[in-house]
Amino acid sequence: VIQRNDGCYQTGYNWEICLLKITSGLLDYQIYLEFVTNNVQDNKKDKARVIQSTTKTLSQIFKQEVKDPDKIVMPSPTSKAILIEKLESQKQWPRTKTIEL
């Protein structure tokens, strides 16, 4: 979520800080895209893979633009595993509710 102090709004705009925030956000988003790609219906997997690949490419481009790449907040393997586990545990409920409808 972009907030006022992230440097992306017109007032207080800061290219470097904004780019860092967006790049870090895209890296987090890739975890969700991986989950979606692995769990979407077969007829939608290609579209999900394209979105996943495009997002990865965009984050790589942004990483090259950042002056100090060490400031990019990378998701840790532990936080990634916890998020995937959380997403896995929640996916049964929507499926069950859809079947009941």
Model pLDDT, residue 17: 93
pLDDT (tens digit per residue) in 80-91: 999 988 888 886
> Under a CB-based contact definition with an 8 Å cutoff, are residues 48 and 37 in contact?
yes
**What whole-number percentage of the chain has pLDDT above 90?**
58
pTM here? 0.79
Model pLDDT, residue 95: 53
pLDDT (tens digit per residue) in 27-41: 999 999 998 888 888
Q: Report yes or no on 96 lying in a domain.
A: no
Question: For the domain that residue 46 is a member of, what is the CATH number?
Answer: 1.20.1250.10
Taken in order 90, 1, 76, 27, is the CA torsion positive or negative? positive
Average pLDDT over the chain, rounded to an integer: 87
Q: Report yes or no on 28 lying in a domain.
A: yes
> Under a CB-based contact definition with an 8 Å cutoff, are residues 55 and 26 in contact?
yes
Q: Report yes or no on 38 lying in a domain.
A: yes
Model pLDDT, residue 38: 86
Which residue range is the domain that position 68 belongs to?
Answer: 4-74
